[in-house]
Structure 1
Amino acid sequence: MPNNSFIFIDKQSELEKAAEAMAACKVLCVDTEFHRESTYYPEFALLQIYGNGQCWIIDPIKLPDLKPVWDLMGNPDILKVFHAAHQDVEIILKESGNMPLPLFDTQVAAALLGYGQQVGFGNLVQRVTKKLLPKGESFTDWKARPLTPKQLTYAADDVIWLMPVFQHLQERLEATGRTSWLQEEQTRLSDKNTYDNDESEIFWRVKGGSKLKGKHLSALRELAAWRERGAKSRNIPRRRMMADEPLVEIARRDTLSRETMQRMRGINDGFIKRFGAEVTAAWQKGIEASEDTWPKMAPRRHNTRGTDLRLEMLDTLVRLKAEEGEIASAILANKSDLSELASWGYRCKGDTPELACLHGWRYELVGHDLIRLLRGEICLHINPQTGFPEITPITQNSAT
């Protein structure tokens, strides 16, 4: 069982001593506590690390210089373990400039082993170790000082119980030959560029933007980039800079004036006085951009004869493969990808679509058979003895 004790560190000398002990670990379980409700960048409030039976809770508010620990995060000889790593890695990268590599994300590993695509940490701990973690501090104020014993215990549990979960998942990945799958899935997490929002691409995430096209989508691109720069420079949430709804409303206009903006909900006179000229300039840049620079939406595939039936067959095959492999079906192939594949499968001509399920380990597990099913090389049937669906190759004799 894990050691539930921890050392709270808020002095530089204690941090340096702890870093020496951490440097002797081959594996460090890492977690952070932060707030992001009122800022663009996360407000870093606590750092928890566990290794070799010891837990350290580090106070970054009292200790602004965490270089001894940040150096360890960049040590390639120490494996850093996280659960749902993205935001923790984002904080470490921003604070230290180091990517915590190599890393192991237990949420990703769990998805590859049938625990669900985005299983929560408490749920995973309970299923692996039978330990029920308390939830009382889920919405606590981590910036408040002093931290209470309950807060510290809750924070410590997040890394103390991460170790047995990691060990269990690592053993299962090795036993099932899926360790390489994890590395493939973590490629994006391990890429520094993942944590730098591309201003020119952020418009794809604007709610309601998919309704626009052509020059109006071009305007949205420029407006979203303007908002992103403003939110970053002021360290405020995007919605505080400007909400999605008025952003889309402005982008869809063929003409724009101060009076037009005054009639829009979500835009007041103070905003127009301060930012009206900038918004107009961004909108105009997008509207007047040459057609060859307009954002290109992914082409929609026309519904073809039998597409719905093919989609049902493809989905059945995916669920069958997921059950055989004890893996969540959603991580093998999502409905959007299957729908595109079903449409392509009307004639199976031309290059196969660029879909995740047709690459890497997914192709080996299910993608190859999806193509074979569409081409009539295999079939699905019910085994009369078991009552379960099975996959059978179609030979020339069986076809006739």
Structure 2
Amino acid sequence: MITIKTTEGLAAFCDRARNHPYVTVDTEFLRERTYYSKLCLVQLAVPGDAEEDAVLVDPLAKGIDLAPLYELFRDTSVVKVFHAARQDLEIFYIQGNVIPEPLFDTQVAAMVCGFGEQVGYETLVRKIAKESLDKTSRFTDWSRRPLTPAQETYALADVTHLRVIYEFLAAELKRTGREKWVEEEEEVLTSPETYVIEPENAWKRVKTRTNSGKFLAAVKELAAFREEYAQSRNVPRNRVYKDDALLELASTKPKTVQDLSRSRLLLREARKGEIAEGILAAVARAANYAPSEMPIPDTSREKLQVNPALADMLRVLLKAKSDTYNVAAKMIATASDLDLIAAGQREVAALRGWRAEVFGDDALRLCNGEVGLAVKGQKVDVITL
């Protein structure tokens, strides 16, 4: 088993990888104590059975530079294969300002190929590679050195079996003509906006039942301060203060440190120093919002007039299409999508791209009374009216 600890060694492997059609990639990281993930290990493999065809890269080794890896990620002649790539891609975008291209996510491809929703790597290893995984090292501390032989074996398996899975799924997508489906699904993964949280928009992630403008102004300012503080100090946002404490502060609107001491939910560390000052300043800024500046929640869905009978028919149609195409129903359309369509909305993901071909076009015809549903034995068919 080869572990690369130098920039030169990494560059040599990446040069070899350029002679292959694809490279499989995985990472091990820690995030419990930081805002940004701490990259602890990178696993890479190219087609082949030789020992040098699958390696571990130690990003914590003294003096190593991951620039050769980032250059490989930019090489469009080599497909970069991940499983459930989102967290891995976030790490590489934040640290290296790069998103691998072209990208192939085996979790997305497996859903398109009928393996169910959010299918796990272990399931694909068992069903496609016909192997089993030892999961005992999954939750170990990957920042500690030296790594144990069990950790190294577990980590390397994440990219060696991935080669078999990728080749199987790529062939299946080509056979069924669904390559474009996967490309559409991966557009979110390859968009830099996916991995950037702007502090001024952080309030939209906080769940609240109150639509008061003054209350939401406080939520917005408190969420923005928390995000800025967490990002600049690289600490988890919940270590600054949790959502329930944020909502309490937005309601009580403290004006002094003494007011903060009366909080039931605020962490002790947040009642003094920079965090306390930031909280009070955020509340003060919110108090100065003009009526036109106050945040407005999106309540459009609450006002929808959903036709329940039509929504039920759309659910039957979705189940029929899911069975016909062997694709997880939730991947084609969510329950929320169906309600939106039944309420007359047309800016819905289920009505665009490959989903329109599979489901959306017939869904619109059903809404317009152009087609109906008929039961034939165990099958539901779409019939023209």
TM-score strictly above 0.5: yes
Structure 1 237/270 Cα, relative in aligned 2: closer, same or farther at 3 Å? closer
Task: Name the residue aligned to 2:371.
Answer: 378
TM-score, scaled relative to structure 2: 0.92
Contact 1:250-1:256 within 8 A present in 2 as well: no
Structure 1 242/187 Cα, relative in aligned 2: closer, same or farther at 3 Å? same
CA distance in 1, matches of 2:331, 2:142: 33
Task: Name the residue aligned to 1:35.
Answer: 30
Q: Which digits, 9 at most, give the CA deviation of each residue in 1:274-304, with x for residues without a partner? A: 1233212212323432333323314134464
Structure 1 311/124 Cα, relative in aligned 2: closer, same or farther at 3 Å? same
Deviation at 1:326, TM superposition (A): 0.4
CA distance in 2, matches of 1:213, 1:300: 18
Structure 1 389/268 Cα, relative in aligned 2: closer, same or farther at 3 Å? closer
Deviation at 1:366, TM superposition (A): 0.7
Deviation at 1:25, TM superposition (A): 2.1
Counterpart among 8, 11, 14 of residue 16 in structure 1: 11
Structure 1 256/371 Cα, relative in aligned 2: closer, same or farther at 3 Å? farther
Deviation at 1:353, TM superposition (A): 3.2
Deviation at 1:16, TM superposition (A): 3.2
Deviation at 1:13, TM superposition (A): 3.8
Task: Name the residue aligned to 1:349.
Answer: none
Contact 1:218-1:295 within 8 A present in 2 as well: no
Q: Which digits, 9 at most, give the CA deviation of each residue in 1:177-228, with x for residues without a partner? A: 111111111111111221111222222222x325444232232122111100
Deviation at 1:324, TM superposition (A): 0.4
2:46 is the alignment partner of 1:51: yes
Task: Name the residue aligned to 1:365.
Answer: 358
Contact 1:256-1:280 within 8 A present in 2 as well: yes
Moved more, 273-282 or 331-340: 273-282
Q: Which digits, 9 at most, give the CA deviation of each residue in 1:220-263, with x for residues without a partner? A: 12211110010011111010011110101222346755444322
3-state DSSP class of the match of 1:140?
coil
CA distance in 2, matches of 1:99, 1:382: 47
Deviation at 1:374, TM superposition (A): 1.6
3-state DSSP class of the match of 2:300?
coil
3-state DSSP class of the match of 2:80?
strand
CA distance in 2, matches of 1:104, 1:334: 24
CA distance in 2, matches of 1:183, 1:210: 37
Deviation at 1:115, TM superposition (A): 1.2
3-state DSSP class of the match of 1:200?
helix
Contact 2:320-2:379 within 8 A present in 1 as well: no
Q: Which digits, 9 at most, give the CA deviation of each residue in 1:361-394, with x for residues without a partner? A: 11121111111112211111212xx243221111
Contact 2:5-2:57 within 8 A present in 1 as well: yes
3-state DSSP class of the match of 1:147?
coil
Deviation at 1:269, TM superposition (A): 5.6
CA distance in 2, matches of 1:353, 1:147: 53
Any unmatched runs of 5+ in structure 2? none
Aligned AA (1:133): L
Task: Name the residue aligned to 2:96.
Answer: 96
CA distance in 1, matches of 2:32, 2:267: 22
Task: Name the residue aligned to 1:114.
Answer: 114
Task: Name the residue aligned to 1:342.
Answer: 342
Aligned AA (2:297): K
Contact 1:39-1:236 within 8 A present in 2 as well: yes
Q: Give matches, 1:1-400, under 5 Å.
A: 6-53=1-48, 54-63=53-62, 64-206=64-206, 208-253=207-252, 256-268=255-267, 270-274=269-273, 275-293=275-293, 294-302=295-303, 304=305, 307-344=307-344, 352-383=345-376, 386-394=377-385
CA distance in 2, matches of 1:235, 1:95: 13
Q: CA RMSD in A?
A: 1.9
Any unmatched runs of 5+ in structure 1? 1-5, 345-351, 395-400
Deviation at 1:357, TM superposition (A): 0.6
CA distance in 1, matches of 2:87, 2:375: 45
Q: Percent same amino acid among aligned pairs?
A: 35
CA distance in 2, matches of 1:388, 1:51: 44
Deviation at 1:111, TM superposition (A): 1.3
Q: Which digits, 9 at most, give the CA deviation of each residue in 1:52-105, with x for residues without a partner? A: 321011111115312222211121221101001111111122232222111111
Moved more, 121-130 or 253-262: 253-262
Structure 1 284/297 Cα, relative in aligned 2: closer, same or farther at 3 Å? farther
